[in-house]
Amino acid sequence: MAKTPIGLEPVVGSLTPSKKREYRVTNRLQEGKRPLYAVVFNFIDSRYFNVFATVGGNRVTVYQCLDGGVIAVLQSYVDEDKDESFYTISWACNIDGTPFVVAGGINGIIRVIDASNEKIHKSFVGHGDSINEIRTQPLKPSLIVSASKDESVRLWNVHTGICILIFAGAGGHRNEVLSVDFHPSDIHRIASCGMDNTVKIWSMKEFWTYVEKSFTWTDLPSKFPTKYVQFPIFLASVHSNYVDCSRWLGDFILSKSVDNEIVLWEPKMKEQSPGEGTADILQKYPVPECDIWFIKFSCDFHYNAAAIGNREGKIYVWELQSSPPVLIARLSHAQSKSPIRQTATSFDGSTILSCCEDGTIWRWDAVPTD
Amino acid sequence: MAEKSSPSASANRSEAPKDSSMTQSEENNLTVKEVLSVIALLKKQVTVDRSVSVKKRLEENRQKVGGITSHLYKLSNERRSSWISDSDSALDLLTKRQKDALGMQNGIDVSNGDKDSHSYQEASTAVLMGSSIPVKNAVRPIKLTEVKKLPPYTTWIFLDRNQRMTEDQSVVGRRRIYYDQNGGEALICSDSEEEVIEEEEEKRDFVESEDFILRMTIKEVGLSDPVLESLAQCFSRSPPEVKARYETLMKEEKDAGASKNADIEAQNWNSFLEKDLEAGLDSFDNLFCRRCLVFDCRLHGCSQDLIFPADKQTPWSHPDEENAPCGPHCYRLVLKSERNGTVSSPINTEEKSNSSSDGVGAQTSFRKKPSGPSARRKVKSCQSESASSNAKNLSESSDSEIGPRPEDSSSIPQLSPSKNKIAGKSGIRKRNSKRVAERVLVCMRKRQKKMAASDSDSVVSGGVMPADIKLRSNARKENEETMSSSQKNVKSPNTGRSRRKEWPLQEGLQGEVPEVPSSETINDLPRTSGNDGLRKEEFVDENICKQEASDHKSWKAIEKGLFEKGVEIFGRNSCLIARNLLNGLKTCWEVFQYMTCSDNKLACHAADGVISLLEGYSKFDLNGNMGNNEVRRRSRFLRRRGRVRRLKYTWKSAAYHSIRKRITERKDQPCRQYNPCSCQTACGKQCSCLLNGTCCEKYCGCPKSCKNRFRGCHCAKSQCRSRQCPCFAADRECDPDVCRNCWVSCGDGTGSLGVPPQRGDNYECRNMKLLLKQQQRVLLGRSDVSGWGAFLKNSVGKHEYLGEYTGELISHREADKRGKIYDRENSSFLFNLNDQFVLDAYRKGDKLKFANHSPDPNCYAKVIMVAGDHRVGIFAKERINAGEELFYDYRYEPDRAPAWARKPEASGSKKEDGAPSGRAKKLA
């Protein structure tokens, strides 16, 4: 990476905890022997803000956070294929609001589970290799995107089971895609990143008619005219190694590689030449011992804080939108030593969950200040 | 200072430090240390500015995010309420479990320990796991029925024709980190032993803050070498770079004001019509592939050298040349109407009769000699022969029209009754025009005498002009009053014509002394002619002065350029030029006028008036074509399109077949890539094709007689299916452009394109399947052997063409690099094409890329030259039944082949037909 020119240096957060909030372990449970790769709260439907889901091995589990650190198991699903290893999970819903749990993993099959009827809704076959991340469009939660090892990102309609768009090809990723995220307000925009060390921003504006068409499609899903989006509108080389998590923060992007930090940057597109542009790195949030890939961070509903685990089982909670960044808390527990693959931050950030390589789920609750 | 600085607030920055540094600015002889301290100070300030600006931007973003999330919150609440109102909440198991759990927790609070029995009774309800309760997962899991997964593949783009790799696709010089599935570790693939990558120093643009430091420092401490050096150190750049930047900055500052005006001007100037054809053609040449006849060709790219054939095509002529006018503005119609107008004229009877009776016939003769300048010339030089000459007379040689002209004003009314009225009303004008007519007649007679002496048609035509114009415009005025569209037809040509004749007038007047008086007298005429004097003057002024200007203005640069091209393509056929090239811009009549005008112009440019149009025409032709004959190179501007970092290499392992690349049956040396030569004469020793060892093809610049050309075949009955066909024998497909009897039928056997069907007696060339894309339907499916496989939908016979193996065209060097990656994944789609290129179907290709390897295959691959390009065809080695899986021998070199592709017997021996030992697998 080229040296950052003077005057464009990022503001780096200090690792001294501000003690703004204190967290305490309130629960720990062992789900199984296999590593847990993802945990996520439901932000789609306000009834289920305290419901979260985890994946590990061939199992998908739905839990509820109750008062007093209690976690209730609500539902559990097991793929009959023992070799399946789910990597990612996301909440979605049908157009009538039926809650769905969408999971994907090594088999490359997206499982759409109807949580209100406790049965499989649909299985999407199409990806040529494992699925590394699934995200839901917050404005239209029937739309999901999946990032796959097959170097593509695909947009699906869970309601009709249609693969609407494939983001791959001439300008696509050159290696596994590890993470993808919908822009929170611009419904046409997604950002993806992966093992080719790049972050790409894609627009589906020109293809939006297909997205609309997917909702009214009555024929077989396989007959749908799936389109390829071959060129991203922006390409950033912010990192020099695998980029395994990226999230929009308004129009900025938070992304992380294996360099012990989360980076906040602004994509600056050039109007005349799409695909080109520069990334202005604004802030950095250091996360010590976070140098292995496939560690993902999570934000609360309002993007006030981000929680990220590390290789050593510690969690760093950063205040995202202050400048310079403030470390809200550093969570550690003597028994939490296994790498934390993903965290989940509750609606208001008062509860943080972490799922670990050793198959444990940890619940941390903020200690009431008064 | 810090309050409102933002990234773009350079003004802020430049203002802020002034007060603090003003005192220092006078002392210019500072030591290096002081310079450094100044820089450090500025740096500090920049850093502060930066953090403030970041803060500000984050704050702005925070507000935006706040709005977004509260909207999302609203949405999530709506979902809740819509759900409750819509359906029976009892059906929602998730909500039910949620409630159960809540109820249980409350129950636990009361009776702790009761939980276990609870959950066992109703197995699938919630289980609580609080800190006080032992962890136990008792919820009965719901089974998700197994769905068979697909064989792995990387998302690929379907290609129906090969594409050249775009530079940004290159893996050469890029670090690729592998993830070892088994070890769980990421490995960096470095080739440091093999190659040293020297990245061209990427030119970093100076950022605003650097500019600021630069400006302020120099402002404070002056411009000197130590200052530059320390600045360079600060920016980690070279001192000259810094100096150059400073100079541009200073210049920019100066230009700042001026540039604004320039911008506005530029905006007004961007109509495409203002561009000349050269610029347009330049981008055309850059974007249009003359081999594939498409824009933005992905196969040959935008960097092709422009090659123009030495054999010039004769101007295109329509096979069944009709005499029908091409449209309402066709020059034929206009001429005709003019001629009609002259019928009543008592003067110049010959002309009249000629034009009226011979109108059509004359036109025919003209059409028959579209590019016959000699005919025209004849007309020009001896107008008295007009009876026997072409109708062109009327338009081209103005003197022949002098006769009818005076009567125009009176004759036009005959065309339409409405005009009659007007003519009647304006008696004075009529009289006046009659007088003018007389004058003109006198002039004409004089001139004709002169003519006999000088025989200078251009001069004559020029001299006639004013009278012409005047009368015409007179008629035009009337026309305008009547406002009839048909009359407009008459009118506009008239004005157009007068324009046309402007040229000779201007140039001729000065040169030819005898001409001056005649035109002057006519110019004088309106002024002296009482009532109408004013109007006449106006006409004259308008027509002579303004129209002259408008002649040049109304024909924009691009229109002129298009016209010239049109003459090149269609010959002097204004109908075709107007219709095909100037549609919507100029009418046929206008083109016609321009054409004749430019002829005259050329004639005038020649020193003596006797210069023939023939010469003029040929000169014109020369002008038109001269530029084309040179091999034009792309403009630098366009060349830079798609700029990608350029890399320099030192390359040690130069052998070009190394990594697993499939090869074809031909075991001898690989084919050579064809690049058209730009020879303009028969190819000699310098011909790039000869040097390269390829034949010349139809895309070469050399004439057809070139000895190095592949001449195609003359096969008649063999259908070009055996080695008797020279094309087939040379691993080439027949080319309808080159082979004598190979033509393209419409497929149903009845029709053919441009060739009468009787030719060749039902003969149909069988050696054009790739060209015509006559492939078999190939299906993609789960292989019986491994991974994906390609299957045939319909049965085919032996040697039938199945389809093309398409992919990205990459260099051997790139292929070696990619091969390493692919070998690691044990799945390679590389295919050796020729000495320059390898096909890679990994990310782009077609279904045939999934055909598996077998030492005992049912297909074979063959590299075939199709219209100058090498392509890979897959052919049936034997009869293949519908639904069978396709296999062919990848022909990896024995030592490179992976285990699954090695010959079962003695690896290393290149024995052709190994014993049938089952089909080897290929991981796709």
pLDDT attached to residue A167 = 96
In percent, how much of chain B has pLDDT > 70? Answer: 48
Q: What single-letter amino acid sits at B542?
A: E
Q: pLDDT class for B220, splitting at 50, 70, 90? A: confident
Statement: residue B512 has pLDDT above 50:
no
What would the mean pLDDT of B20-30 be, rounded to a whole number? 46
Q: Letter for the amino acid at B162?
A: N
Q: Which of A254-263, A272-281, B659-668, B865-874 has the lowest mean pLDDT?
A: B659-668
Pick the residue with more confidence: B900 or B318? Answer: B900
B43–chain A Cβ distance below 8 A for any pair: yes
Alpha helices, DSSP H, located in B416-483: 417-425, 427-454, 457-482
Mean pLDDT of the region B817-837: 83
pLDDT at position B588, please? 82
- Residues 266-295, chain A, touching B (beta carbon < 8 A): 266, 280, 282-283, 293
Which residues does residue A145 pair with via DSSP β-bridges, in sequence order? A135, A155
User: With the C-alpha atoms ordered B731, B732, B733, B734, is the resulting torsion angle positive or negative?
Assistant: negative
CB atoms A228 and B124 under 8 Å: no
Give the closest-approach CA distance of B887 to chain A in angstroms: 22
User: What does the pLDDT read at residue B170?
Assistant: 75
Given a cut of 70, whether residue B362 has pLDDT beyond it is no
* First vs last C-alpha separation in chain A: 47
Indicate the fold that domain A12-366 takes in CATH. Methylamine Dehydrogenase; Chain H (2.130.10)
| Cβ pairs A/B, distance under 8 A | 280
Parse chain A into domains and list their residue ranges.
12-366
At A170 the pLDDT is 86
Angle between helix axes B427-454 and B515-528 (nearest 10 degrees) is 170
**Rounded mean pLDDT, B803-820:** 88
pLDDT at A165: 96
For chain B, the C-alpha Rg in angstroms (whole number) is 42
State the pLDDT confidence band at B55, using cuts at 50, 70 and 90: very high
B202 near A CB under 8 A: yes
Determine whether the interchain pair A148/B155 forms a contact, defined as Cβ–Cβ distance below 8 Å. Answer: yes
Residue A257 to chain B, least CA–CA distance (Å): 13
B641 touches chain A (CB under 8 A): no
Confidence of residue B8 (pLDDT cuts 50, 70, 90): very low
Among A73-82, B296-305, B493-502, B888-897, top mean pLDDT goes to A73-82
pLDDT(A86) > 90: yes
Looking at chain A, which residue has its C-alpha nearest residue B130?
Answer: A70
Output A299 or B170, whichever has higher pLDDT.
A299
> How far is the alpha carbon of B655 from chain A, nearest alpha carbon, in Å?
26
Q: With an 8 Å Cβ cutoff, are A251 and B61 in contact?
A: yes
Of the ranges A41-55, B652-666, B791-805, which one carries the lowest mean pLDDT score? B652-666
Nearest to A206 by CA among A182, A224, A235, A230: A230
Residue of B nearest to A109 (CA): B149
Q: Which residue, chain included where needed, has tokens 């004058």?
A: B439
Other Cβ atoms closer than 10 A to B774: 13
Least confident of B39-48, B302-311, B614-623: B614-623
Listed ranges B153-167, B392-406, B589-603, B881-895; the one with the highest mean pLDDT = B153-167
Number of C-beta neighbours around residue B72 at 10 A? 18
CB within 8 Å: A125 and B177 = no
pLDDT surpasses 70 at A144: yes
Name the pLDDT band for A218 (thresholds 50, 70, 90): very high
Sheet containing strand B801-805, edge to edge, reads: B801-805, B869-876, B859-866, B887-888, B852-853
pLDDT tens digit sequence for B135-171: 444 678 899 999 998 999 999 989 888 888 877 777 7
Across the interface, whether the CB atoms of A293 and B141 are under 8 A apart is answered: no
What is the band of B382 on the pLDDT scale with cuts at 50, 70, 90?
very low
**Residue B336 and residue B328 in contact, taking contact as beta carbons nearer than 8 Å:** no
Q: What is the mean pLDDT of chain A?
A: 92
What residues have CB less than 8 Å from B324, skipping those under 6 apart? none
Among the partner residues A81, A108, A323, nearest to B150 by beta-carbon distance? A108
Provide, as residue numbers in chain B, all residues whose Cβ is less than 8 Å from the Cβ of A91: none
Cβ neighbours of B186 in A, within 8 Å: 242, 293
Q: How far is B860 from chain A (nearest CA, A)?
A: 28
Please state, in angstroms and rounded to a whole number, the distance separating the CA atoms of residues B658 and A161.
45
Q: Which of A16-25, B132-141, B804-813 has the lowest mean pLDDT?
A: B132-141
pLDDT of residue A237: 86
Place of tokens 């299957």: B791
Percentages helix, strand, coil for chain B (3-state, rounded to 5) are 50, 10, 40
A253, pLDDT greater than 90: yes
Q: Is B538 near chain A, with CB under 8 Å?
A: no
pLDDT, tens digit (0-9, with 9 covering 90-100), for B682-726: 788 888 888 888 888 888 888 888 888 888 888 876 678 888 888
Q: Which residues contact B167 (CB under 8 A, 6 or more apart)?
A: B642, B644
Rounded to 5 degrees, φ, ψ at A286 are -65, 140
Rounded mean pLDDT of A21-50? 92
Q: Which of residues 836-865 of B touch A (CB under 8 A)?
A: 843-844
pLDDT at residue B483, as a whole number: 45
* Cα–Cα distance for residue pair A93/A158, rounded to 1 Å: 8
- Using the predicted structure, report yes or no on whether residue B539 has a pLDDT greater than 60: no
pLDDT at residue B35, rounded to an integer: 82
Token output for B468: 């012409």
Q: What part of A 213-252 touches B (C-beta under 8 Å)?
A: 228, 230, 241-242, 249-252
Cα–Cα distances in angstroms (integers) from residue B184 to residues A134, B178, B814, in the given order: 22, 10, 28
Name the least confident of A250-264, B620-634, B786-800.
Answer: B620-634
What are the tens digits of pLDDT across the range B753-771? Answer: 544 444 445 567 888 888 8
Residue-level pLDDT at B552: 54
Q: How confident is the model at residue B488 (pLDDT cuts 50, 70, 90)?
A: very low
State pLDDT tens for residues B551-599. 555 777 778 888 888 887 777 778 888 888 877 778 888 888 888 877 7
Residue B901: predicted pLDDT: 64
Kindly tell me if the per-residue pLDDT of A353 is higher than 90.
yes
pLDDT category, A333, cuts 50, 70, 90? very high
| Inter-chain CB proximity B131 and A150 less than 8 Å | no
Instruction: Tell me what the mean pLDDT of segment B790-815 comes to.
Output: 91
B-contacting residues in A 328-357 (Cβ below 8 Å): none
A253 vs B457, more confident: A253
* ipTM score for this prediction: 0.93
Q: How far apart are CA A339 and CA A356, in angstroms?
A: 6
CA A160 vs. chain centroid, Å, equals 23
Q: Is A94 in contact with A142 (CB distance < 8 Å)?
A: yes
Q: Is the pLDDT of residue B810 over 50?
A: yes
Q: What is the amino acid identity at position B97?
A: R
B58·A172 Cβ contact <8 A: no
Q: How far apart are the first and last CA of chain B?
A: 63
**d(C-alpha B895, C-alpha B838), whole Å:** 19
Contact B152 A175 (CB under 8 A): no
Q: What is the mean pLDDT of chain B?
A: 64
Answer for the pair B790, B829: CB distance below 8 angstroms, yes or no: no
For range B863-881, the mean pLDDT: 91
Residue in chain B closest to A26 (alpha carbons) equals: B131
Residue B235: its chain A contacts at CB < 8 A? 5-6
**Which pTM value belongs to this model?**
0.70
Q: Is the pLDDT of residue B258 over 90?
A: no
Q: Is A129 on the interface with B (CB under 8 A)?
A: yes
Look at A111 and B144 and tell me if their CB atoms are within 8 Å: yes
Q: What pLDDT is attached to residue A52?
A: 95
| Pairwise CB contact (< 8 Å): A321 & B202 | no
pLDDT of residue B124: 40
Q: Are B802 and B815 in contact (CB under 8 A)?
A: no
Banded model confidence at residue B882, pLDDT cuts 50, 70, 90: very high
Contact B130 A27 (CB under 8 A): yes
Neighbours of B723 (CB within 10 A): 9
Residues from chain B that touch A251, judged by Cβ atoms under 8 A, are 61, 64
Closest CA–CA distance from residue A145 to any residue of chain B (Å) = 15
Q: Which of A73, A152, A264, A303 to mutate to test the interface with B (most CBs of B within 10 A)?
A: A73
Which tokens hold the place of B31? 């030591």
Instruction: From chain B, pick out residues whose CB is under 8 angstroms from the CB of A169.
Output: 155, 157, 843-844
For chain A, percent of residues with pLDDT exceeding 70: 97
Could you write out the three-class secondary structure of chain A?
A: CCCCCCCCCCEECCCCCCCCCCEEEEEEEECCCCCEEEEEECCCCHHHCCEEEEEECCEEEEEEECHHHCEEEEEEEEECCCCCCEEEEEEEECCCCCEEEEEEECCCCEEEEECCCCEEEEEECCCCCCEEEEEECCCCCCEEEEEECCCCEEEEECCCCEEEEEECCCCCCCCCEEEEEECCCCCCEEEEEECCCCEEEEECHHHHHHHHHHHHCCCCHHHCCCEEECCCCEEECCCCCCCCEEEEECCEEEEECCCCEEEEEEEEECCCCCCCEEEEEEEEEECCCCCCCCCECEECCCCCEEEEECCCCCEEEEECCCCCCEEEEEECCCCCCCCEEEEEECCCCCEEEEEECCCEEEEEEECCCC
Residue A35: pLDDT band (50, 70, 90) is very high
Output the pLDDT for position B880. Answer: 93
Confidence of residue A275 (pLDDT cuts 50, 70, 90): low
pLDDT for res B181: 54
Res. A276: pLDDT tops 60: yes
Contact B137 A76 (CB under 8 A): yes
Q: Quick check: A170 and B75 CB within 8 A?
A: no
Which of B:137-196 have CB within 8 Å of A? 137-147, 149-150, 152-155, 157, 166, 168-169, 171, 176-177, 179, 186
Per-residue pLDDT, B741: 80
Cβ contacts (< 8 Å) between B77 and chain A: which residues?
A: 46
B contact residues 257-316, partner A, Cβ 8 Å cutoff: none
**Percent share of chain B, pLDDT over 90:** 9
Residues of chain A with C-beta less than 8 angstroms from the C-beta of B135 = 29-30
Q: Do B87 and A96 touch (CB under 8 A)?
A: yes
Interface of A with B in 131-190 (CB under 8 A): 138-139, 141, 148, 150-152, 166, 168-172, 174-176, 184-185
- The chain A residue lying nearest B131, using CA atoms, is A27
- Contact of B90 with chain A, judged by CB distance below 8 Å, is answered with no
pLDDT in the model for residue B507 = 43
Q: Chain A: residue nearest B158 by CA?
A: A169
| Cβ within 8 Å, pair B155-A166 | yes
Q: Is B93's CB within 8 Å of A2's CB?
A: no
Give me the residue label for tokens 């006639």.
Answer: B464
Query: At B495, is the pLDDT very low, low, confident or very high (cuts 50, 70, 90)?
Result: very low
Q: Do A11 and B95 touch (CB under 8 A)?
A: no
pLDDT recorded at residue B293: 84
In whole angstroms, give the CA distance from residue A229 to residue A223.
18
Minimal Cβ distance to B93: which of A116, A169, A176: A116
